[in-house]
Amino acid sequence: MKNILNTTALAATLVLGGYGVALAQGSGTAPHATGTSQQGAQDRVGTAEATRMNEAQIRTLLGARGYSDFDDMERDGDTFRIGTAERYGKKVEDLRVDARTGRVKDEARLTEDQAKRLLEDRGYSDVSDVNRDDNMISATAKRNDRELRLRIDAETGVVTQQQASN
């Protein structure tokens, strides 16, 4: 059941990202549209300017990846620069996000504390035995009165495996 929910959450994130790009390409919603001329907006469709996401779209995309409390967000060409943000309870400074893809540049892997917070945010309780093994973080947690052993991808935050503990 949890794997289905994780797959659904990942698909929703990808759809939101694609939706953001589609919105940025739509006439009249291009981030730097000037005037009210639809022809001007149509001329920009397919150009670099039309494929950039706007600030709201970047906020939504980052929120799906566990970021919150954005401070000092501004666009610098094809990059959004964010002075500070939080990701699962840890302060992140000088966050840089590609305005075309929504990818965070030089994103740090999740720490054990962030993985614990991620699981709690997703409805798990009694999270314990949190350990890193290279790019995977393992943990024990409870959900629906069942004790589970979980594995979290430290780069993406995706819960990739779940099994009942004995």
The pLDDT value recorded for residue 161 is 73
pLDDT in tens, 54-88: 999 999 999 988 999 999 999 999 999 999 999 99
Checking if the pLDDT of 110 tops 90, the result is: yes
Give the residue from 121, 17, 112, 31 showing the smallest Cα distance to 68: 121
Mean pLDDT, the chain, rounded, equals: 78
pLDDT reported for residue 48 = 52
pLDDT above 70 as % of the chain: 69
Is pLDDT of 32 > 70?
Answer: no
Least confident of 8-17, 33-42, 79-88, 121-130: 33-42
Q: Judge residue 24's burial from the number of C-beta atoms within 10 Å of its C-beta, 0-12 exposed, 13-18 middle, 19 or more buried.
A: buried
Higher pLDDT, 12 or 147: 147
More confident site: 2 or 126 = 126
User: 88-110 as b/e, with b when 16 or more CB fall inside 10 Å?
Assistant: beeebeebebebeebebeebeeb
Answer yes or no: is pLDDT of 15 > 80.
no
Q: Tokens standing for 87?
A: 């990701």
* Mean per-residue pLDDT, 132-139: 94
Q: Is the pLDDT of residue 97 over 50?
A: yes
Q: What is the arithmetic mean of pLDDT over 12-30? A: 46
pTM value is: 0.64
